[in-house]
Amino acid sequence: MKCSLCRHNDAVYVIKTVIRKKMTELRLCAHCIEKKEKELGLKKGALMYYAVPIALTRLERDIFPKDATGLSCPECGLLYSDFKVTGQLGCPQCYKAFAPHLKLFFKLTQGAETYCGKDYVPPDGGPYLKYALLDRKTIQSELREAVKTEDFEKAGALKKILEAKAETPAPRKKKNSHEV
Partner 1 sequence: MKSEGQFSHIILFTAARFARNLAGFRFCGKDGQPQAAAAGVEQGAALEALSGGFTVTAESADFGTKRALAERYIFEGDPYSSAPATAVIAKEMALSVNDREHIKVFAFEPGLAPAAALAKAKNATDELGRKIPYSFSRDFGFLTAAPREAGTGLKIFALANLPALELAGRTADVLKTLPNLRLNHTPLNAETFALSGPLHIISNMTTLCAAPEEIAAALERGLRFLITAEQTTRIELASGPERIKMEDSAFRAMALLQNARSISYEETAVLLSNAMLGLAMGYDLKVKQDALSWLLTACKPGHIALACATAKHKPTPQERDVLRAALLRKTLTLPQESI
Distance CA 90, CA 165 (A): 30
Shortest gap between Cβ of 98 and partner 1 (angstroms)? Answer: 9
Which lies closer to partner 1 via its Cβ, residue 7 or residue 177?
Answer: 177
Which lies closer to partner 1 via its Cβ, residue 70 or residue 87?
Answer: 87
Distance CA 84, CA 70 (A): 12
Shortest gap between Cβ of 9 and partner 1 (angstroms)? Answer: 17
Closest C-alpha to 64, from 78, 83, 42: 83
Shortest gap between Cβ of 22 and partner 1 (angstroms)? Answer: 25
- Are 97 and 68 spatial neighbours (Cβ–Cβ below 8 Å)? no
The end-to-end CA distance of the chain, in Å, is 51
Which lies closer to partner 1 via its Cβ, residue 65 or residue 92?
Answer: 92
Which lies closer to partner 1 via its Cβ, residue 7 or residue 96?
Answer: 96
Shortest gap between Cβ of 177 and partner 1 (angstroms)? Answer: 5
* Interface positions with partner 1 (CB under 8 A): 42-46, 48-50, 75-76, 86-92, 95-96, 99, 102-103, 105-106, 109-112, 114-120, 122-123, 125, 127, 129-130, 132-135, 138, 165, 168, 170-180
Shortest gap between Cβ of 142 and partner 1 (angstroms)? Answer: 10
Which lies closer to partner 1 via its Cβ, residue 21 or residue 115?
Answer: 115
Distance CA 43, CA 40 (A): 9
Distance CA 64, CA 145 (A): 43
Kind of pairing between the strands at 13-19 and 52-53? antiparallel
Distance CA 125, CA 131 (A): 10
